């Protein structure tokens, strides 16, 4: 039995060494490679917001709802407007982590209504987090604000939104949020 477990340890070490060599030369554990993902800018949304509705402390975080009142969409892949009526549900945790979940609609210039479900995270120092929560203007370099939007377009000219993965970069201003949407290629 001892001889068998020693053999297994040596075999595991050899397999681990081969896997490490494959990863270092090919970029993947299976020895196969594919192009590394890149980002292509698609469009930006300037999302106008109303003052937050504070719910209070629940399950260790400060819960609040930010109503979306409208906005604009501009960029090389889409133009249009952000429709009023959506919102952003936030939970601000001690230590500066804010979980975000927004649901709203975009209306493209051709009249197509596109659903958006945008889940993200904003991370900052406690001081910067409180300044953002109070609606103060803060340098975007002072925080990390990223999201992973999923779009729900009807069939037609904007169906491409359903066939791509996106990431968003957010900038929080006192009365609006700017989200730059990038296609992960």
- Tell me which of 33-37, 96-100, 159-163, 166-170 is least confident: 33-37
C-alpha 131/C-alpha 140 separation (Å) is: 12
The predicted structure's pLDDT at residue 29: 65
Q: What is the 3-state secondary structure (H, E, C) of 4-52?
A: HHHHHHHHHHHHHHHHHHHHHHHCCCCCCCCCCCCEEEEEEEEEEECCC
Given a cut of 90, is residue 80 above it in pLDDT? yes
Q: What is the pTM of this model?
A: 0.80
| % of the chain exceeding 70 in pLDDT | 84
Q: For the chain, give the mean pLDDT.
A: 88
Q: Is the pLDDT of residue 12 over 80?
A: no
Q: Give the residue carrying structure tokens 């001690």.
A: 94
Which of the pair, 168 or 10, is modelled with greater confidence?
A: 168
Do 114 and 106 meet the contact criterion of CB atoms below 8 Å apart? yes
């Amino acid at each position: 039995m001892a001889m068998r477990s020693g053999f297994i340890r040596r075999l595991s070490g050899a397999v681990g060494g081969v896997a490490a060599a494959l990863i270092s030369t090919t970029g993947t554990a299976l020895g196969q490679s594919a192009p590394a993902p890149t980002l292509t800018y698609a469009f930006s949304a300037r999302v106008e917001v109303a003052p937050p509705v504070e719910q209070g402390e629940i399950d260790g975080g400060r819960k609040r709802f930010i109503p979306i009142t409208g906005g604009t969409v501009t960029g090389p892949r889409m133009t249009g407007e952000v429709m009023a009526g959506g919102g952003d549900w936030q939970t601000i945790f001690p230590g500066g982590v804010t979980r975000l979940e927004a649901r709203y609609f975009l209306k493209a210039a051709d009249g197509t209504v596109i659903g958006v479900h945008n889940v993200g995270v904003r991370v900052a120092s406690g001081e910067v987090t409180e300044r953002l929560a109070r609606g103060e203007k803060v340098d975007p370099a002072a925080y990390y604000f990223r999201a992973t939007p999923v779009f729900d377009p009807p069939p037609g000219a904007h169906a491409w939104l359903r066939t791509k993965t996106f990431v968003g970069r957010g900038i929080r201003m006192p009365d609006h949020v700017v989200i730059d949407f990038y296609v992960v290629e």
